[in-house]
Structure 1
Amino acid sequence: MARVGVVLFNLGGPDSLQAVRPFLYNLFSDPAILRLPAVLRPVLAAFIAYRRAKVARGIYAQIGGRSPILELTQQQAEALQRRLAARQDGPVKVVIAMRYWHPMSDVAARELAAFKPDQIVLVPLYPQFSTTTTASSLEAWAVAAANAGISAPTRAICCYPDADGLIEALAAGVTAGLREVPHGQAVRVLFSAHGLPKRVIAEGDPYQAQVEATAAATAARLAREDLDWSICYQSRVGPLEWIGPSVDAELARAGHDRVAVVVAPIAFVSEHSETLVELDIEARAEAARLGVPIFVRIRTVSTAPAFIEGLAVMVERVVADREGGVVSPGAAWRCGKGQCGCRQH
């Protein structure tokens, strides 16, 4: 009976207000985030972390002084482990590898090495591939796995922007959100995702196209001919030009059109500061200021049964696959320009 190890990758978040500055330093030390020569990056990362720490601590103070992302990812890991254990012949162990705060890949690799898996599946909790998220996490894992002496065959899921489980869970959330809008009130669904600098996309990163695929697939699953929807991006920082439109721009348009909005996060699969503060507090207040008649924000897919089932199905397909490499199982998606290394579509 094969022993299967599964690694769930997520961003991570500070577990206290004191952890905010070192968390930011870890984030901006990543060459995928701050694209500078290695000799300059630590200095600028330290400066940015110092400059942004006060504002960031204010953000986390609004949600209890810490990010909930670890506990929520643990819930997802437990749900996925239960689902896989019920259908796998051999032992299964699901571990968590956060990118910028604990537990990071080195801890996860040691934990998995002790389990002695026969094969490993790497699962990013980023449905849409980006060099700034999935690729960075996979690179960190490769180093950690080597240091931990892991030699088991390892396969990585690169992306699943239009996977059935994700889309079913998102569509269910949007449907519930639409029910909160009174009958007869015009409404627009805003599919929100974390933004990226335009230059990252211009270099071939498929993230924006995959966000568009997720939004289009969710809208199609809703099967409403009159559905009014658009995509918007949030969390812009720094002087670079970012992809758009922004959340604020779409709220301004909704206010002008006097339509209610149902905001659906489609790139975040668990709650954290971008949803709990940027959307629930800041965007809600901006919507009221701009005259948006009703503001509804649906929850992230989190441990929705359809989403967990979808992850489990992808893992099972990869376990059954005897070839190595990075895979995108079961989805009719082409990642474009070779950025993700995906070999199966």
Structure 2
Amino acid sequence: MNTNAADATCPIHAQTDHPKVPKQKIGVLLSNLGTPDATDYWSMRRYLNEFLSDQRVIDYPKWKWQPILQGIVLTFRPSKSGAAYRSIWNNEADESPLMTITKEQTAAIKAALAEEFGGEVMVDFCMRYGNPSTKSKVQKLVSEGCSKILFFPLYPQYAGATVATANDEFFRALMEENWQPAARTVPPYFDDPAYIEALAQSVERAYAAVAKKPDILICSYHGLPERYLKEGGDPYHCQCQKTTRLLKERLGWNDTQIMTTFQSKFGPEDWLQPYTVEEVARQAEAGNKSIAVCAPAFSADCIETLEEINEEIKESFDHAGGEDFLYIPCLNAEPLHIKALVDQIRKNLSGWV
């Protein structure tokens, strides 16, 4: 364990030359997907290379995938992705919206836990891809005296390509620590009543703010190849469906008022369906000219919501004859969302505090 913490002292009864040891604390490390450092070609290429080289995300054999990734995908995709990021970039802070919102969430959670536990619990965040890295933040927490770390991937539903790869990176970081902290991970919270309540109230607020009530609410989740479900047993699809069902029940709606779709298809194989971009067009063609879209799988607004949903998917709806498109923002740093996240943290800190 690094001993550069300001409150490091020699243990009682230790010899005078004993290395100083930080006062023991508990760390809570939030983890989100990631973000490029900037929108230029090389920043995007570095980010996409790390993301698309993850075999939890693209599970093709390296000998088959890497030549395609390095020779084709990373030649053209960084420019296209950079343009998409520039359309939503937080220019004032010079960072992506995901970074801005994750910082806000972290600050709110830190304040809530400080009020309850004082300085015993430290809160920080990391990104699975890009900066700040999981490794750097694990090292920081350990150096500041955290002998226990609760790792919290900010994904309500479990998927190998999200929760599992975040946990993988956390455990890899722990492997490099000589004095490893005790570690726990927060499980998915897709059916947590506080999370469902936060979702429901966000929908109710959005519907109350528009003159015309949407004909249907599309719950758009990030997609995965169907093969991950059929061959690997990934529970993501079932958990998404349950989140939508619980939201429907909480709102008191029927099946015609809400549905589950999947977005962000990548590559040639079939992904979870129906595809959001196609379904919104079908809704318009079927006469549902006013729709709302929310993204329950995302804890914070990001490129997949602000650009893909609110621009590309909206465009598909408009071109098919749709008239009113309402995007309902992610829960972000809304008080009810922060409360739900803090409740998960408190529950998983049981026995440690």
Could you state the TM-score of these two structures normalised by the residue count of structure 2?
0.85
Per the alignment, do residues 186 and 153 of structure 1 end up closer, same or farther by CA in structure 2, a change over 3 Å counting?
Answer: closer
Q: Where do residues 120-269 of structure 1 align in structure 2 (5 Å cutoff)?
A: 120-182=149-211, 187-202=215-230, 203-225=232-254, 228-259=257-288, 260-269=290-299
Describe the SS at the equivalent of 1:12: strand
Counterpart-to-counterpart distance in 1, 2:351 and 2:246: 26
Could you state the TM-score of these two structures normalised by the residue count of structure 1?
0.87
Describe the SS at the equivalent of 1:17: coil
> Are residues 1:59 and 2:87 paired?
no
Describe the SS at the equivalent of 1:11: strand
1:63: how far off?
Answer: 1.7
1:119: how far off?
Answer: 1.9
Counterpart-to-counterpart distance in 1, 2:179 and 2:167: 14
> Are residues 1:37 and 2:67 paired?
no
Counterpart-to-counterpart distance in 1, 2:298 and 2:137: 22
Counterpart-to-counterpart distance in 2, 1:43 and 1:33: 16
1:309: how far off?
Answer: 1.0
Runs (4+) off by over 3 Å: 36-45, 180-183, 224-227
Across the aligned residues of Structure 1 and Structure 2, the Cα RMSD in angstroms comes to: 2.0
Candidates 110, 115, 124, aligned match of 2:139: 110
Describe the SS at the equivalent of 1:224: coil
Whether the aligned pair in 1 keeps the contact of 2:151 and 2:170 (CA below 8 Å) is: no
Whether the aligned pair in 1 keeps the contact of 2:108 and 2:333 (CA below 8 Å) is: yes
Q: Match for residue 30 of structure 2? A: 8
Whether the aligned pair in 2 keeps the contact of 1:180 and 1:296 (CA below 8 Å) is: no
Describe the SS at the equivalent of 1:132: helix
Unpaired runs of 5+ in structure 1?
Answer: 323-345
Counterpart-to-counterpart distance in 1, 2:151 and 2:262: 27
Counterpart-to-counterpart distance in 2, 1:151 and 1:193: 36
Counterpart-to-counterpart distance in 2, 1:61 and 1:25: 19
Amino acid paired to 1:168: E
> Are residues 1:312 and 2:353 paired?
no
1:143: how far off?
Answer: 1.1
Number of residues paired by the alignment? 321
Whether the aligned pair in 2 keeps the contact of 1:81 and 1:94 (CA below 8 Å) is: yes
Describe the SS at the equivalent of 1:20: helix
Radius of gyration: which is bigger? Answer: 2
Residues 137-195 of structure 1, C-alpha deviations (whole Å, 9 max, x = no match): 11111111221335222111121101122211111111122224435x56100001110
Counterpart-to-counterpart distance in 1, 2:64 and 2:319: 42
Whether the aligned pair in 2 keeps the contact of 1:124 and 1:134 (CA below 8 Å) is: yes
Describe the SS at the equivalent of 1:26: helix
Q: Match for residue 122 of structure 2? A: 93
Describe the SS at the equivalent of 1:87: helix
1:291: how far off?
Answer: 1.5
Unpaired runs of 5+ in structure 2?
Answer: 1-22
Q: Match for residue 17 of structure 1? A: 39
Q: Match for residue 287 of structure 1? A: 317
1:314: how far off?
Answer: 1.4
